[in-house]
Structure 1
Amino acid sequence: MQTAQVTPKVWDRILAARAGRSCLCCGDWETGERAAMTLYGSMIAAPGSPHVVAQIGQSLDGRVATVSGDAADVSGPDGLAHLHRMRALVDAVIVGVKTALQDDPRLTVRLVAGQNPARVVIDPSGRLPNDARLFADDGARRVVIQTVEKSRPAGVEVITLPRSQWISPAAIVAALRKLGLNHLLVEGGAITIARFIEADLLSRLHVAVAPLLIGAGPQGLTTQPIAKLAQARRPETQVYGLGSDVVFDCLMGTRAQAQVWPHAKQATALRHG
């Protein structure tokens, strides 16, 4: 595990690289600072290119809240700062309507320097009230994706898409690209993230684990069940210590799975040989 030290100097360089004003390859950096630039540098995509990442903040036993829905302190302070850094490095943050209703999130950048991304909510049936905090007119773009006709507050961009059982994640990504939103962070909830994974649209998945045991409650991620472990996704993963939390940076996608699978088989053979 690498320890990532996100000093003000490092974060300034990362933001400059995100804006196209600098690079991450030069400079005299400590080992922990270089680890931080590797972690967040992977979030920076070429202008105009699609790049979809997701983030989960969970407990040691894989929970994101208690059975009563209390999720306020699952992530530690460094895990929360990590989430806000991810927001600062993307064009838009996406949440599903269930998360928006339960948490009423602001989806802004408050704990670190950086600009607020566009806020996108997937609300097929128009359940989210117009006074939700993510619709607040604070200068950031606000987008709602729905399948029904429902008026929204002034300035909120409405995307109407068809659905069968749910709205296609690929259709969502394509519609947001038409709005110039190419670099996307899928922040929740578990079902929404799972659908993007199953659609093979994620390039990276960050799982931030905090040292607490909740015991019961909603899980951070649940994808379609498999019959054999040979069918499991085995993403190439780097692990970073961020003070109060540990972040697993997972390279996703079919190509990444194909690259790492031979190594996984070799490791299994060594363990059982």
Structure 2
Amino acid sequence: MQQVDVTPRVWEHILHLKNATPCACGDLWSVGEDLALSLYGPLAHRGNGPATVAQIGQSLDGRIATVTGDARDVSGPDGLAHLHRMRALVDGVVIGVRTALHDTPRLTVRLCPGQNPARIVVDPGGRLPDSAPLLQDDGVRRIVIQAVDRPRSQGITVIRLVPENGMLDPSEISSALRAEGLSNLLVEGGSITISKFLEAGLLDRLHVAISPLLIGGGPQGLTLTNPASRLADAPRPSMQAFSLGSDILFDCQIEERAN
């Protein structure tokens, strides 16, 4: 399997695709650079219309963390660099409140050139404190989607939605974010939030990054509320596999969307 080669030149070209600006980067690419264009180009090219992609990193045995909840190194260095590139190509990154509380992510772009996306947390009960890293004011939009009437610090946008059985509808979340001008979204975690967007038919693509790691126990990756009882009925998305270096990425295209 040929390895994706994200050279500074091809990444500059990809960022120009995102911004719809001309680039004097040339048009002769190596095999590895062509693979980078195949992987990142469809999301970067805004002419393809609004898109929602989810990313999950897991071990060879399908775990996303240890039994104690340690998930920090489940992806290798190249898997992490890929995640930061995905952040740089979208308008906003969505995570659930459990991930925000447990992992305290910053959701910024640090491992590649690019602009930080809007940071969005789905927090129905308003549990996330305003002191959380992803809510700190650095000039980037910060959005909390909640069901309760809880005030937030100045500069944080609050989107109020009505819950059903204590949960917020992913379709309503998606519509509300699009109304805020956020067309391209990355659903980064956790696995429950990704699963809900997947089951709601809201994903265009699903990225599963697999690290050569055997954990042996701990939480699994995606778990659907209505799993297939027969393999013949299980979704089989079309996909391409890419070698990132330390990780193998399955880029899955989701054929059907709810809206």
Return the TM-score normalized by structure 2. 0.95
Distance in 2 between the 1:239 and 1:82 partners?
A: 14
Runs of 4 or more above 3 Å deviation: none
Residue in structure 2 matched with residue 232 of structure 1 by the alignment: 234
- TM-superposed CA distance for 1:48, in Å, is 9.3
Residue in structure 2 matched with residue 95 of structure 1 by the alignment: 95
Residue in structure 2 matched with residue 56 of structure 1 by the alignment: 56
Distance in 2 between the 1:137 and 1:214 partners?
A: 36
Residue in structure 2 matched with residue 181 of structure 1 by the alignment: 182
Q: Contact 1:45/1:183 (CA < 8 Å) preserved in 2?
A: no
Matches within 5 A, 1:135-150: 135-150=135-150
| 1:105-157: CA deviation from partner (whole Å, max 9, x where unpaired) | 10000010000000000000011111111100011100000000111111000
Distance in 1 between the 2:229 and 2:71 partners?
A: 32
Distance in 2 between the 1:125 and 1:178 partners?
A: 22
Secondary structure at the aligned position of 2:44 is classed as coil
| 1:159-196: CA deviation from partner (whole Å, max 9, x where unpaired) | 00011131111101110111101100000001100000
CA spacing shift, 1:126–1:115, aligned 2, 3 Å: same
Secondary structure at the aligned position of 1:167 is classed as coil
Secondary structure at the aligned position of 1:43 is classed as helix
CA spacing shift, 1:94–1:173, aligned 2, 3 Å: same
Distance in 2 between the 1:45 and 1:242 partners?
A: 21
CA spacing shift, 1:48–1:33, aligned 2, 3 Å: closer
Matches within 5 A, 1:182-221: 182-221=183-222
- TM-superposed CA distance for 1:50, in Å, is 2.1
Distance in 2 between the 1:130 and 1:81 partners?
A: 27
Distance in 1 between the 2:45 and 2:15 partners?
A: 12
Secondary structure at the aligned position of 1:195 is classed as helix
Distance in 2 between the 1:231 and 1:44 partners?
A: 33
Q: Contact 2:58/2:211 (CA < 8 Å) preserved in 1?
A: yes
Q: Contact 1:135/1:153 (CA < 8 Å) preserved in 2?
A: no
Q: Which amino acid aligns with 2:152?
A: R
Distance in 2 between the 1:48 and 1:162 partners?
A: 31
Secondary structure at the aligned position of 1:196 is classed as helix
Q: Which amino acid aligns with 2:217?
A: A
Higher alpha-carbon deviation: 163-172 or 183-192: 163-172
Distance in 2 between the 1:55 and 1:143 partners?
A: 20
Distance in 1 between the 2:256 and 2:235 partners?
A: 9
Residue in structure 2 matched with residue 269 of structure 1 by the alignment: none
Matches within 5 A, 1:141-160: 141-160=141-160
RMSD: 1.7
Q: Contact 2:42/2:48 (CA < 8 Å) preserved in 1?
A: no
Distance in 2 between the 1:164 and 1:86 partners?
A: 31
Unaligned runs of 5+ in 1: 256-273
Residue in structure 2 matched with residue 260 of structure 1 by the alignment: none
Return the TM-score normalized by structure 1. 0.90
Secondary structure at the aligned position of 2:35 is classed as helix
Distance in 2 between the 1:22 and 1:2 partners?
A: 29
Q: Which amino acid aligns with 2:66?
A: T
Matched-pair identity in %: 59
Q: Which amino acid aligns with 1:154?
A: Q
- TM-superposed CA distance for 1:47, in Å, is 5.7
Aligned length: 255
